[in-house]
Structure 1
C-alpha cells in the first residue's frame, strides 16, 4: 500500500455543544469559507509504521503505538453537525470559543494524492463531503477490524484465559466472533478494492454495502447480538466467582496490545459497529443529490441496514424473553391461586420488582397502616402479585389481566400510587395502594402500568435530546443499555434523575440514568436528529 493510500482513522475528541455565536468571532465567516482548504494545507506525515494496513490476510493485532483502535474512534457520521460549519468544528468547541484540539484527524482531503490532483478546487462542497463520508466508513471499518483482531488474537487466543473457564463459559464469552471477523474482512476487502481502483474520488460505496447486506453476509452479526445477554452474564459471573479468571484477565487488560482497554469494550464491538452502520450510510445518503444514480442506491442501503439492526435487536430480545419465561416458570408457584398457564408464545416479561403494599386496618378500635412487601411481575398481558419464599422462589397470591388495570397518583406522596383493578377474580372493582423505595421506581411502575407509546407525531423539537457520554448496562427489563455516542429523545423524566427515551437510530425505548448522557443544545443538530429519525424509522417505533 502506498503512503498516499494509508487510512488513518480519527481519534476521539470532544463533541461540539451549543449554538455557535459568530458575533464573538469577527473573522468567522472568512474562516468558515476557507476552513476546509486551510485544514488540508499541512497534512500529517503518514507512514506504514504509524498505521499498518489491515488486509484480508492480516491477523496479527497491531500494537497501540501503531494504530488507533475502534474504541478510540469517533465517527463524525454518528454525530450530526451543520454542513456549512463541519470543518470549522475542529477549531470551535463548546462555550469557550476558539481553541485548537490536540486530537489528530485524517480525512480524504488530506491525502497527498488527492491534494496533488487539484480536484478539491473544482469539486462542489456537497460532493467533497460525500467523498469524506465514504472515506470515513472505510477508515472506521479498518479500525474496527484491528480491534476485532485484538479480541481474537490476544484475549481469545490466551491459553491461560482458556484454561480458567469451561467450554460453555468460553463459548458464551466469545460466541461466533471469528465468523464476525470473517464478515468484516470480506466487507473491508470489497471497500478497499473499490478505493484502490479509484484514481482520486470514488463513485460510490453504498452499492457494496447493499450487496453484502442483501446477500446475507452480515448474518453472523445477528447471531452474535442474540447471544449478548448470555455473554454479559457469563463475563460478570466469571469476574465475581472465578478468581483465577479475574487475575489472568487483569493481566491481559494491562498489556499494551489492548491499549489498556477492558475486555468488555472489545466484546461490545460487533453490537456497536452494526448499530452505527446505518448512521454512516445515512450521512452518505444526505450528501447525494436526488438526480444522482447513487441517491436511490443509498436510500436502499439505508433501508436494508436499518432493517438489519432491527433484526439484531428483535432476535436478541426474543431469546432473552424466552429465557426469562422458562426461568420464571420454575420460580413461580401458583398453589395459592387459581391455575394459570404462564408460558405462552406471545407473552413476555415487561417489569418485575418489589413494592410495599399498604392497607388501613383497625385493631382494638385503633386504626393503623399495615405494610407488606410484595413482588410484582408485569407481563405484556397480565400482572402477577406474589410473596417471596426464598431468593429464587415466589408464591403467586393473585393475578389480573393488564387491560383491566390502571394506575393513579397519590398527591403529595413522592413514592406512593394506587393500582385500580376494574374487575378482579370475583368480578369486583378493587384498589390497592403501593409504596416504592424511591420516586423513580414509582414513576417507572406508573408509566409501564398505564401509558401507551408516545405517538410518532407527538415527538417534536421541543423534546429534550441527549447524547450518551458513558456506557450503561441495563439491569431491569424496562431499562435500556446505553452505548456512547447514541442519541436519545427524552419522553419522560423523574425527579431523581432517570429518563425514559427513544434511541433515534432504531426506535428502541427504555429507562436510563441521566448521569450517562448530556443534553444537546445546538438547535440545528436537534432538528437534524429529528430528520434522521424520520429517514431511518418513518413512523415505526419499538418499545422495550
Structure 2
C-alpha cells in the first residue's frame, strides 16, 4: 500500500506522486505508524496518519474523492451566496449567544472563534469521532468537511486532534463558500447581463456602468475555485489553502478594486434607469421573479463582489486563529490576510473617492465667507460630520440668563483637517464666520449644570481664523449628539471605555444581530455577526464602537446588537484579534515564510 497506493489522479491530472520513491519519502515504522519525512504536500498530521497496514484506503486514494468532491461542490452551487452568507452569519450569532450563556468558553463550539460561514462544530473528547449537531437543520444543505462520506469512512476523525478538525472545517468552508459565490456570479451574468430583452433596452455605455468588469471578476473566481478544488482533491486532510489565497490576491484580485470602485456610478445608474426607463424596470422585475433568483433582488447580485472580498478576509482570519502558532501555515495565513486587507482597503478607498469629491464640490458652492476665504476642495480632505448646534449668546458668565434667546443656531462643517463654523442664510447657503485646523480643537463637557444647560459642551479653538484663541459654548439636541460631536471634534479625547488597542481585556463588547447602514459620516455600517468593542455609550441608545476585525470606529444604535457578557469570551475575542493583526514582518520572516516567486 505504501509504495503504490499514493497514486492520486483526479480529472486526468497527477495530484501528488506516482510512487513513494518518486517523492523521495523516508519511511519510518514505529508502533505500526509510518512517517513521511519529506513529502512537500503532507502536513505533520498527514505524515503520522500513514499506517503501514492502512485501514483508511479512501484517505489516501483521491481518485474516488475527486469525483465526489466535484459532485459535492455542485450541490453547494445549489445555494446562492446571498443565502449561504445570511444563513451562516445568523447561525454564528446563535452560537455566540450559546457561548455567552455558558461559564467556560472551552465548553462551546469552535465557531466561537470565527466569523464563520459554516455550521458550528462542537468540541468533544479525543476518543470519539467529533459530530456536529449544534444548530443542525434537517433541511439544511450545508455540509461540513467531517460530514463528507470519504472522511467519515476513512476513520481519520478518531485520530485527528479537535484543533486540527476545526482547522480543516475552516479551510473547507473557504472552498465551499467560493463555490456558492461563483454560482451567484454566474447567475448575475447568464440571467441578467446576457438577457436578450435587457440588452435591447440598455445602451452599451449603460450596460458597461451597470455590470462593470463582472466578467473579469467571474473569471478570477473560477480560476480561484479550480485551484482550491484541486488542493482539496490532493488529500482528504487539506494541507493549506492560504497559499492559494495569497497567490490569487497578489496576481488576480485587482479586478475587485476596479469593480467596487465603480459602485457609486453603478448605484446611480441603476436608480436612474429604474426612474427613466419603464421597460428596464419591467424586465428586471420579471427576471427577479424567476425561481432561479429565489426571491433575491437584482441589486443583491450587483454587490456580491464587494461582499465576497470582505468576507474572504474574514475567512482567512478564521483560519489564522486555528493554525499552529509560529508555524509555516501561520506565516502563510498572515501573508494572505495582509494582501487581502490591502485589496479591501483599496476597494473602500475607491468607493469613497468619488462620493467625497462630489460632496466637497457641493459644500464649496454653499459657503460664503464673511472672513478670509479658505479653500475647501482638496484631494486630501473629506467631510467627517455636519449639522446644526445651538450657540450660547453673550459672554460665558451668562449661564444663568433667563431669556428665550439664550441660544442661537449655528452650523458646523467638520472635515478631517478643518472646522468651518457658519450661520445658515437664505437660499440654502451658509455664511462662514470662523474656522480652525482640526488639530487645534479642544472640547470640554459641562456636567450638573441644570436642565437648561443639558447636553452643553465647550469648544475651544486654540487658533482660529483671526489667529487668536476662541471659545464657543454649544448645545446639542441630545446626549448622543453631544458625544458624537465631541468625539468627532477631538478624536484623541479619552472615551468612557478603553479601546481595542489598549490591550485591556475587560472592555465591553457587543455583537451585531441586525445589519445597519450608516446614515452619517461618523456612523459605522454593521454586518450580521460583527463583534465590536464598546468605547462609549449614551443614555438615549447610541454606542461608539470599534469593530474587531478591521478596527474601524463609528456610532450605531444600541438596538442593532447584543452585549457579550461572558468575560472569558471577551478576552478570547481580543486575544484572537491581537494575533490576527500582529504585523512584525521581521518576526514573520523568522517563521519561515514560503518562497512565493
SS at match of 1:462: coil
What residue is the counterpart of 2:156 in the other structure? 119
Instruction: Determine whether 1:195 maps to 2:266.
Output: no
What residue is the counterpart of 1:353 in the other structure? 387
- Aligned 1:223-262 pairs, distance under 5 A: 223-235=258-270, 246-262=281-297
What is the alpha-carbon distance in structure 2 between the residues aligned to residue 427 and residue 75 of structure 1? Answer: 50
Cα contact 1:407–1:418 (8 A) shared by 2: yes
What is the alpha-carbon distance in structure 2 between the residues aligned to residue 85 and residue 163 of structure 1? Answer: 62
Q: CA deviation at 1:106?
A: 0.7
What residue is the counterpart of 2:486 in the other structure? 446
Cα contact 1:19–1:521 (8 A) shared by 2: no
What residue is the counterpart of 2:545 in the other structure? 501
Cα contact 1:337–1:398 (8 A) shared by 2: yes
- Aligned 1:12-31 pairs, distance under 5 A: 12=88, 14=91, 15-16=94-95, 17-19=97-99
Cα contact 1:332–1:393 (8 A) shared by 2: yes
Instruction: Determine whether 1:436 maps to 2:480.
Output: no
Instruction: Determine whether 1:145 maps to 2:182.
Output: yes
Q: CA deviation at 1:414?
A: 4.2
What is the alpha-carbon distance in structure 2 between the residues aligned to residue 406 and residue 434 of structure 1? Answer: 13
Deviation by residue 1:475-525 (Cα, 9 ceiling, x = unmatched): 221122222232222212222222222222222222222222233344444
What is the alpha-carbon distance in structure 2 between the residues aligned to residue 521 and residue 101 of structure 1? Answer: 31
What is the alpha-carbon distance in structure 2 between the residues aligned to residue 405 and residue 102 of structure 1? Answer: 58
Are the structure 2 counterparts of residues 435 and 229 from structure 1 closer, same or farther at C-alpha, using a change threshold of 3 Å?
farther
What is the alpha-carbon distance in structure 1 between the residues aligned to residue 583 and residue 482 of structure 2? Answer: 30
What is the alpha-carbon distance in structure 1 between the residues aligned to residue 387 and residue 276 of structure 2? Answer: 25
What residue is the counterpart of 1:62 in the other structure? none
What is the alpha-carbon distance in structure 1 between the residues aligned to residue 130 and residue 444 of structure 2? Answer: 51
What is the alpha-carbon distance in structure 2 between the residues aligned to residue 463 and residue 509 of structure 1? Answer: 15
Q: CA deviation at 1:140?
A: 0.4
Cα contact 1:474–1:481 (8 A) shared by 2: yes
What is the alpha-carbon distance in structure 2 between the residues aligned to residue 438 and residue 249 of structure 1? Answer: 43
What residue is the counterpart of 2:573 in the other structure? 529
Cα contact 1:275–1:505 (8 A) shared by 2: no
Cα contact 2:544–2:554 (8 A) shared by 1: yes
Q: CA deviation at 1:161?
A: 5.4
What is the TM-score normalised by the length of structure 1? 0.77
Q: CA deviation at 1:219?
A: 0.4
The count of aligned residue pairs is: 486
SS at match of 1:369: coil
SS at match of 1:495: coil
What is the alpha-carbon distance in structure 2 between the residues aligned to residue 137 and residue 475 of structure 1? Answer: 32
Q: CA deviation at 1:82?
A: 7.8
What residue is the counterpart of 2:587 in the other structure? none
What is the alpha-carbon distance in structure 2 between the residues aligned to residue 534 and residue 80 of structure 1? Answer: 23
SS at match of 1:76: coil
Q: CA deviation at 1:178?
A: 2.5
What is the alpha-carbon distance in structure 2 between the residues aligned to residue 75 and residue 378 of structure 1? Answer: 34
SS at match of 2:421: strand
What is the alpha-carbon distance in structure 1 between the residues aligned to residue 476 and residue 203 of structure 2? Answer: 41
- Aligned 1:55-134 pairs, distance under 5 A: 76=116, 91=133, 103-134=140-171
SS at match of 1:212: helix
Deviation by residue 1:305-362 (Cα, 9 ceiling, x = unmatched): 233323333343344433332333333333x221222233432222112223342599
What residue is the counterpart of 1:279 in the other structure? 314
Residue ranges of structure 1 left out of the alignment (5+ in a row):
37-73, 94-98
Are the structure 2 counterparts of residues 520 and 456 from structure 1 closer, same or farther at C-alpha, using a change threshold of 3 Å?
closer
What residue is the counterpart of 1:400 in the other structure? 436
Instruction: Determine whether 1:306 maps to 2:306.
Output: no
What residue is the counterpart of 2:518 in the other structure? 474
Are the structure 2 counterparts of residues 238 and 352 from structure 1 closer, same or farther at C-alpha, using a change threshold of 3 Å?
farther
Are the structure 2 counterparts of residues 165 and 392 from structure 1 closer, same or farther at C-alpha, using a change threshold of 3 Å?
farther
SS at match of 1:399: strand
Cα contact 1:90–1:101 (8 A) shared by 2: no
Instruction: Determine whether 1:483 maps to 2:498.
Output: no
Cα contact 2:121–2:132 (8 A) shared by 1: no
What is the alpha-carbon distance in structure 1 between the residues aligned to residue 118 and residue 148 of structure 2? Answer: 22
SS at match of 1:356: strand
Q: 1:267 aligns with which of 299, 302, 309?
A: 302
What residue is the counterpart of 1:212 in the other structure? 248
Cα contact 1:78–1:485 (8 A) shared by 2: no
SS at match of 2:405: strand
Instruction: Determine whether 1:322 maps to 2:362.
Output: no
What is the alpha-carbon distance in structure 1 between the residues aligned to residue 377 and residue 333 of structure 2? Answer: 43
SS at match of 2:393: strand
Deviation by residue 1:201-258 (Cα, 9 ceiling, x = unmatched): 222212111111222x100112223233444455556667776655554444333221
Residue ranges of structure 2 left out of the alignment (5+ in a row):
1-65, 77-83, 585-597
Instruction: Determine whether 1:373 maps to 2:409.
Output: yes
| Deviates further, 432-441 or 275-284 | 432-441
Q: CA deviation at 1:141?
A: 0.4
Are the structure 2 counterparts of residues 434 and 157 from structure 1 closer, same or farther at C-alpha, using a change threshold of 3 Å?
farther
Instruction: Determine whether 1:182 maps to 2:247.
Output: no
Are the structure 2 counterparts of residues 251 and 271 from structure 1 closer, same or farther at C-alpha, using a change threshold of 3 Å?
same
Q: CA deviation at 1:3?
A: 4.1
Q: CA deviation at 1:298?
A: 2.5
Deviation by residue 1:128-176 (Cα, 9 ceiling, x = unmatched): 2222221111000011111122223333344555666776665444333
What residue is the counterpart of 2:17 in the other structure? none
What is the alpha-carbon distance in structure 2 between the residues aligned to residue 131 and residue 124 of structure 1? Answer: 11
Cα contact 1:90–1:100 (8 A) shared by 2: no
Are the structure 2 counterparts of residues 302 and 422 from structure 1 closer, same or farther at C-alpha, using a change threshold of 3 Å?
closer
Cα contact 1:488–1:504 (8 A) shared by 2: yes
What residue is the counterpart of 1:297 in the other structure? 332
SS at match of 2:306: helix
What is the alpha-carbon distance in structure 1 between the residues aligned to residue 441 and residue 169 of structure 2? Answer: 54
